Amino acid sequence: MNDKQGERQGWLARLEERLFEASMPQMVQGMRHEANVDFRELVCDLKAPMAPAFEREVARALNRGVVRDLIPAETLMPEMMVRFGLSSADYGPEQATHLGELQTVCNQCPVVGRCWKALRAGESWEKCRGFCPNAQAFESKTLQAAG
């Protein structure tokens, strides 16, 4: 292969990558509408492998509130609590109202896409506390449980 052919192949590969990334919003939207059950399962499975461009677009859609297929308090909050060393079992019946308030905050989170990506990546509580609106409550509960 001569230099011209190699240059052309490199250019075509970059173009193909750009086209793939540019198609992600339509791909996510199409999958949401045409394969809703599969899309919901995929988004709710925090360990499911995804192409980075697809993952970025899902996170963007979550941040925009476009994806209603994910209920943060059901999918993300239990995983976030694990990061802080907690589970819903740490909240007894007398704290049901407080747990419900935390779930409401989680469901109204303005950075749900960021949370989703962080939990998928296995980020630690130290990273998550910088954006999680429930972080302070989780930290207090962890200290309370330890003391």
pLDDT band at 131 (very low <50, low <70, confident <90, very high): very high
9 CA to centre of own chain:
35
Q: Is 29 exposed, middle or buried (0-12, 13-18, 19+ CB in 10 A)?
A: middle
**What pLDDT, on a 0 to 100 scale, did the predictor assign at position 126?**
94
Q: What pTM value is reported for the model? A: 0.80
**Which amino acid is it at 35?**
A
Q: Considering the chain, what is the average pLDDT of its residues?
A: 86
Residue 15 has pLDDT above 60, yes or no: no
Residue in the structure block whose two tokens are 């302070």? 136
Over residues 44-56, mean pLDDT: 93
Q: Which two tokens stand for residue 108?
A: 């109204």
Which amino acid belongs to residue 37? V
